[in-house]
Amino acid sequence: MTKFDSDEAAKVHQQLHHALPSDPALRVKALESLVVERGMVAPETLDTWVEAYSEHIGPKRGAEMVARSWLDADFRARLLRDTAAVAEELGFQGHASAHLKAVENSATVHNVVVCTLCSCYPFSILGMSPSWYKSAAYRSRIVREPRKVLAEFGVELPEDVAVRVWDSTAELRYLVVPQRPAGTEGWGLEQLTALVSRNAMIGTERDLSRRVQGAG
């Protein structure tokens, strides 16, 4: 049985500022070892959470919401109108999804999401956030030069396509709904869900047609 002691947690927090290495992966391992050693969390609990977000949640929940919107116009309208309610309806509501807004790509608009203050992100919908999303470079540059940053991700946008940058906060987070790729007529929910990538729902991927060929 693990226990939580606020004084012990404060000591651990203080130690982290002095002892953790700069590399994110090493910091995670050091933090994991420390909290397990202090009896604050059981290692099997950590394993369960990692598995839940990497294997069962991941970006799969968000991808299913996008795929449903491609198949059902009424669902799409509700998703864009009240995203949090739709997430709750599907049983996807959780930490960081209570205030969620879907924004839709079109032939003339491309949306991309950032959190300029820290790394606010809809974990229960998209799983764990990628390391680049939390980097200072992405958080600052995507606002100043979105087209250039998107090009570095392989998203080359014509000048007639407007770029909208959405800044997530603790109160409001975003889900990009990408365009349905051609060649998917007659596809079912499971097939379409498999096409939707995490990056597409952040906005750093736009054209999903290449995924159609791989899935065909």
Verify whether residue 119 is a known catalytic residue.
Answer: yes
- Residue 93 and residue 173 share a domain: yes
Pick the catalytic residue from 119, 129, 197, 209: 119
- Residue 36 and residue 85 share a domain: no
- Residue 156 and residue 70 share a domain: yes
pTM of the model: 0.76
- Residue 184 and residue 111 share a domain: yes
Verify whether residue 120 is a known catalytic residue.
Answer: yes
Helix (H) or strand (E) holding 184: none
Task: Residue 210: give the domain boundaries.
Answer: 59-215
Verify whether residue 118 is a known catalytic residue.
Answer: yes
The answer to whether 111 touches 162, Cβ cutoff 8 Å, is no
| Degrees to nearest 5, angle at CA 179 with 176 and 183 | 145
Q: Can you give the three-state secondary structure of 79-120, one letter per residue?
A: HHHCHHHHHHHCCCCCCCCCCEEEEECCCCEEEEEECCCCCC
pLDDT band at 1 (very low <50, low <70, confident <90, very high): very low
- Residue 205 and residue 189 share a domain: yes
The answer to whether 196 touches 170, Cβ cutoff 8 Å, is no
Percent of the chain having pLDDT more than 70?
Answer: 76
Q: What tokens appear for 183 in the block? A: 């060649």
Greater model confidence, 7 or 1:
7
- Residue 74 and residue 167 share a domain: yes
Pick the catalytic residue from 33, 54, 118, 131: 118
Render pLDDT for 100-142 as a digit per residue (tens, 0 to 9).
999 999 999 999 999 999 889 998 899 888 889 999 999 999 9
Distance (Å, whole) CA 64 – CA 43: 31
Pick the catalytic residue from 69, 97, 115, 168: 115
Tell me: pLDDT of 20 over 70: no
Percent of the chain having pLDDT more than 90?
Answer: 61
CATH of the domain at 73: 3.90.330.10
Which of 36, 56, 76 finishes a domain?
A: 56
- Residue 75 and residue 90 share a domain: yes
- Residue 43 and residue 102 share a domain: no
Confirm whether 1 is domain-assigned. no
- Residue 211 and residue 147 share a domain: yes
Average pLDDT over residues 56-84: 93
User: Residue holding tokens 């994110």?
Assistant: 24
List the beta strands (DSSP E) in the chain: 100-104, 109-114, 162-167, 173-177
- Residue 63 and residue 38 share a domain: no
Which of 34, 56, 78 finishes a domain?
A: 56
- Residue 183 and residue 101 share a domain: yes
Verify whether residue 69 is a known catalytic residue.
Answer: no
Confirm whether 149 is domain-assigned. yes
Instruction: Domain count for the chain, please give it.
Output: 2
